[in-house]
Structure 1
Amino acid sequence: MVTKVQLAVKEEQSRQIPPSALQLAYTDRDGRLQLDESVVQRCFLDAEVSEYSLCLICVIGETRRGKSTLLNYIMRALHCLERHQPVSLGQDEEPLSGFEWRNDTDGVTKGIWIWSKPFILERNEEKMAVYVLDTEGSLDIEGDPETCLKLSALSMLLSSYLIFNVNACLKTTELDYLGMYLHVSELTGESFSLQHLQHLDVLVRDWQDPDNCGREAARTYLQKKSEKLREQKSSEYQRVLDTLRSSSVSGFLFPHPGKRFLRASQGTLSDMDEDFRNHLTRYISELMAGIWFHQKTDTSGEKITSGHVGRVLKEFVIMLQKRSFCFTSPLQMFYEFENWKHMNSVLESFQDFLDQQLPANASPFRVLWVTPSEMMTRVSEQTDVHLDKYEGILSRYNTAKKEMHMEEMKSQLKEKQESFCAEYSKRFTKCAVGIGCVVGGGVLSLAGGAIGAAVAETVLAVEAFGGAIALGAIGTGVGAGVGHVIGNVEKEKVTKAERSTETSKEDTHHLVDKKD
């Protein structure tokens, strides 16, 4: 309850704060992927947007290649769409703002940053939230490969329109990273039931031929690149080759923005060379025109919501934080994702079994039908069954990895087993005492005290576990006490009433004799 109140307060405060770039995810010094859950809550799980469909525009690529600048101009266009105005990149002298940027060699954004307020677009009474994300470190040639792998996987998981930003041309390094991105995209999407690559836009900056730029020029360039890859007859780039030929990939060649723009600190439109400005305007206008075609979908092609992406995002990072992973390849990451899914599936199956043994609305008689020792045997057997089931899933792992996963599963199943059995014992004792009260007070009248006590004590005495005798004594006292009070009332009624038959007298004496 306290957590919900705190989140509600944060949501209200966030609405009063001007939008800005927030760090959604990053890797710490130990290489662990960290997630700011308050950002997830604010951007994806807030009640205002959680049920909207969404489009996620994400830019990946090398450091200091104009990614943040591009996103800031995309946001200007989205502001126009949100206000139902014609698309515009702003005034000529308007300073560039939004994601932090500067024209030097040091990167600004580390990890994945997201604009704190999604742009809400509306069409035919349908609303869609558009998110803008900037990634730094997913293509860091001098950085840690594992960090690149994690950030690229997260970028792929989040994006529905992915812009692969490269400089001058598609070099071998970019092709290697693109192959990794695609592999991660395919495996990660499969693990979380999300469409793995909805749209990839290969954007080449500072193209060598300024007179031959734009969308059509990029199509020709990608076709030639595909032909060269095909001629190499190497399986290494087969995934890249297949992707470049698909309809989900497009490209755009940009000329150099001009020396004045690079030297300027404001990033205004007036500082750009005219041809670069024209191509930038055309590129962003085309993106805005097709924005509704890039809604995030699952593997079956169904649109998903912002809330769904937020929950998947949290699950993704929790899985990575579960223990210290060392990913050397996208395939290894995929195996860990799959293991996480299988582990949760087995634990959920075991929990379903436990819920069936002791439903929340189970009657006391149903509980008393199975003693705690019998229930412990049942649960122990099912623990072994689920452990064997999980072991069969781990066939692809080596011995050391398999043993590690088995120990973790054994620990979690044992924890659930012990918690359930302890709760069942308490419930069993409570039901035994309750039955003693009911039998003693409400059914047997004058004899209820003794019989009720006997019921409670007898039921509890069946179990030879610690505290049974003491609890039996408590059951005896409660049953006898309730039976005594109600029995006295019934005795007064019997004394005042006329006995109509000798049979009833004999029955009454019989009961009293039994009590004595």
Structure 2
Amino acid sequence: MGGNSSNNNKPPSMSREVSVRFHKLEEDITCSVCLSQLTDPVSITCGHTFCKNCIVSCWDTPQLLGYRCPECRKVCPKDQLISVHRLKNLIAKVQLVMREEQAKQETPACAVPLVYTDSRGHLQLDETNVQSCFLDSDVADYPVCLICVIGEKRRGKSFLLNYIMRALSCQERGEPISFGAEDEPLCGFKWEAGTESITQGIWIWNKPFILEHNGEKMVVFVLDTEGSLDTGGSRYICLKLSALSMILSSYLIFNVNSSLKTTELDYLEMYLHVAELAGKSFELQYLQHLDILIRDWFDSEKCRREDAQSYINRETERLRKKSEYPCVLNTLRSPSVSCCLLPHPGKRLMGVSEGRLSDMDDDFRNHLQNYITDLVQGIWRHIKTDICGDKVTCAQLERKLKECVDLLQKEQYRFASPLQMFFTFENHKNMSRVEGEFRKHMDNLAPASSSPFKIVGVKPSKMRYMTSEAAAHFLSVYEESIKDDDSQDRQLLMDEMKSVLLEAEEKFNTEYSKRFKKCTIGIGCAVGGGVLSLAGGVAGAVVAGTVLAAAAAVGGTAAVLITGAVGGTVTLGAIANKKTETKR
């Protein structure tokens, strides 16, 4: 059943004390003329601050006794308005905090899409939801843990996450873990018993759980997926959603019905391959933790931890005799993998039910509660980390997610296999690397510290030739790094790289031309000033005529320099003549 979260899932609002302080701060940043928050604040000599437009309007008409401060009535100079930049920045920050607090009070806790498939079957990123979840000032700099469930549709993924959220709410409030009242309907991610799919793509609960442990804070998000292991859907979408699930999650739950059958093993092998390759490409830790959760286990008397371990041992031994699932076999042997067995929940829960505890069979309920309690109490061990083992913050994860989706959105990359997806990730990573090396090379051609005389020594036409040669070289370097034998994909990548280099080259040459002109005119004026100091006004005119003739003859850089010299000569000559006439 669909539903909104209970009040337990709402994030903590400002305390009363903090709210009072903010209200007082709002008064301090209010203009006493317009009675609104200060805009472009300026301070006058008495020390009071107003909006610039407000004080200018007040003093627009002449006043007989002088211009008085609207607050203290002290006479102040009209032309001494001092911009208060720090106050302007403070006001912007206060406004941001107030907007975020207002948004928290107005926006109910609910599931929102991070990634979804459009009518054409292409992945789309909901940037508004991504930013509001990961870049909120309350959480952006905190390390993050993401609990993500994947598996076939209509196997109770949303149901599981909703009970995990109840437990996380208790953790956030510092209370003992509770799963709600006996007759409390289950709210959160939409769910229904049946065969029709509810969630499409990857959805996230838009209110994070901020937990504290030993004086350290972390943020926990929960995600629900549909389509990452959809046997009736597109293989391309499955691959892409599997990669995204890996990029996001630090605690992954593989939700399986009854046992690890061939279908599940096929998709798990594909997923693990994608996870390993994509993790390398985006420099994130590969498969930090995997729970294999077997639902509707046939023997309700044997669902203990040791029973689950025995099941995994049997599966490992069975796969060891085969060769088609190497990734699954290695993963099952890893200490980062655990297994849990849950019996059938009972007919009442599978019928017309709102997910109440009272509708569950006792054995299912007990095992579910034990599983979720262990998960939530140990969640501190599963903070998202990068490939070096450093903790990843919400803001850092947001950037990784956008990088990944930017690639997956491109229609030409259909990814027939995990290896092809890896090649695409690596090729674009190399594209960024080569672009960076090319920009660094161009900066070395004309460093910011170069003297004007060094700049004028290389004409823009010559610099354009040098950058063109460099672009061709780096394009060749990139071509050698391309991973894939598909000629069509290779040409697409080369065209994209060529376009990137050309854009960087044009921008650099445009800026260099401006810099060259500025340096030549500056040197020319300096030369012109030197000529005048030696030759005087009339002689300067003679020199000017001479150098103009020379400019016409030599052209190029010298012409620009000479023209600048003439400009300096004529200008300074005029000033010198005027001074001489004044003395006379």
TM-score between both structures, scaled by the size of structure 2: 0.77
Match of 2:352 among 264, 283, 288: 264
Q: Is the 8 A contact 1:21 1:114 kept in 2?
A: yes
Q: Is the 8 A contact 1:60 1:164 kept in 2?
A: yes
Structure 1 segment 121-200 matched on structure 2, within 5 A = 121-200=211-290
Measure how far apart 1:411 and its partner are: 2.2
Q: Is the 8 A contact 2:426 2:483 kept in 1?
A: no
- RMSD, aligned α-carbons: 2.9
Residue 500 of structure 1: aligned partner: none
1:54 aligns with 2:144: yes
Q: Distance in 2 between matches of 1:462 and 1:15?
A: 70
Residue 246 of structure 1: aligned partner: 334
Match of 1:432 among 520, 531, 535: 520
- Seen in structure 2, the aligned counterparts of structure 1 residues 249 and 462 have a Cα distance that, compared at 3 Å, is farther
Match of 2:423 among 335, 357, 367: 335
Match of 1:35 among 108, 120, 125: 125
Q: Is the 8 A contact 2:523 2:564 kept in 1?
A: no
Q: Is the 8 A contact 2:460 2:513 kept in 1?
A: yes
1:484 aligns with 2:570: no
Q: Distance in 2 between matches of 1:458 and 1:171?
A: 89
Measure how far apart 1:192 and its partner are: 0.7
- Seen in structure 2, the aligned counterparts of structure 1 residues 460 and 306 have a Cα distance that, compared at 3 Å, is farther
Indicate the larger mover: 73-82 or 396-405: 396-405
Could you report, residue by residue, the CA deviation over 1:316-347 in whole angstroms, capped at 9, with x for unpaired residues? 11122345211110000000000000011001
SS at structure 2 position matched to 1:254:
strand
- Seen in structure 2, the aligned counterparts of structure 1 residues 459 and 411 have a Cα distance that, compared at 3 Å, is farther
SS at structure 1 position matched to 2:188:
coil
Q: Is the 8 A contact 1:55 1:129 kept in 2?
A: yes
1:291 aligns with 2:379: yes
Could you report, residue by residue, the CA deviation over 1:403-425 in whole angstroms, capped at 9, with x for unpaired residues? 33222212221222223222322
Q: Distance in 2 between matches of 1:264 and 1:399?
A: 55
Indicate the larger mover: 400-409 or 32-41: 400-409
Residue 15 of structure 1: aligned partner: 104
Could you report, residue by residue, the CA deviation over 1:202-244 in whole angstroms, capped at 9, with x for unpaired residues? 001111111111322211111111111112x32x112111111
Q: Distance in 1 between matches of 2:551 and 2:512?
A: 15
Match of 1:174, as an amino acid? E
Q: Distance in 2 between matches of 1:397 and 1:331?
A: 12
Residue 506 of structure 1: aligned partner: none
Q: Distance in 2 between matches of 1:167 and 1:289?
A: 25
- Seen in structure 2, the aligned counterparts of structure 1 residues 474 and 89 have a Cα distance that, compared at 3 Å, is farther
Match of 1:252, as an amino acid? C
Q: Distance in 1 between matches of 2:352 and 2:563?
A: 85
Residue 34 of structure 2: aligned partner: none
Q: Distance in 1 between matches of 2:574 and 2:388?
A: 67
1:202 aligns with 2:292: yes
The structure richer in helix per residue is: 1
Could you report, residue by residue, the CA deviation over 1:139-175 in whole angstroms, capped at 9, with x for unpaired residues? 1001000000000110011111100001111110000
Q: Distance in 2 between matches of 1:9 and 1:454?
A: 69
Measure how far apart 1:474 and its partner are: 8.1
Q: Is the 8 A contact 2:523 2:565 kept in 1?
A: no
Match of 1:119 among 201, 209, 219: 209
Measure how far apart 1:122 and its partner are: 0.9
Structure 1 segment 337-356 matched on structure 2, within 5 A = 337-356=425-444
Measure how far apart 1:376 and its partner are: 1.1
List runs of 5+ in structure 2 lacking aligned partners: 1-91
Q: Distance in 2 between matches of 1:176 and 1:169?
A: 13
SS at structure 2 position matched to 1:183:
helix
Q: Distance in 2 between matches of 1:461 and 1:65?
A: 85
Measure how far apart 1:393 and its partner are: 0.8
Structure 1 segment 428-507 matched on structure 2, within 5 A = 428-441=516-529, 444-445=532-533, 446=536, 475=564, 478-488=567-577, 491=580
Could you report, residue by residue, the CA deviation over 1:297-331 in whole angstroms, capped at 9, with x for unpaired residues? 11122212111111000011112234521111000
Measure how far apart 1:131 and its partner are: 0.9
1:274 aligns with 2:362: yes
- Seen in structure 2, the aligned counterparts of structure 1 residues 437 and 262 have a Cα distance that, compared at 3 Å, is same
Q: Distance in 1 between matches of 2:181 and 2:211?
A: 22
Could you report, residue by residue, the CA deviation over 1:402-460 in whole angstroms, capped at 9, with x for unpaired residues? 23322221222122222322232232223322333344347734456776898899789
- Seen in structure 2, the aligned counterparts of structure 1 residues 452 and 301 have a Cα distance that, compared at 3 Å, is farther
Measure how far apart 1:30 and its partner are: 3.2
- How many residues are aligned here? 487
Q: Is the 8 A contact 1:437 1:452 kept in 2?
A: no
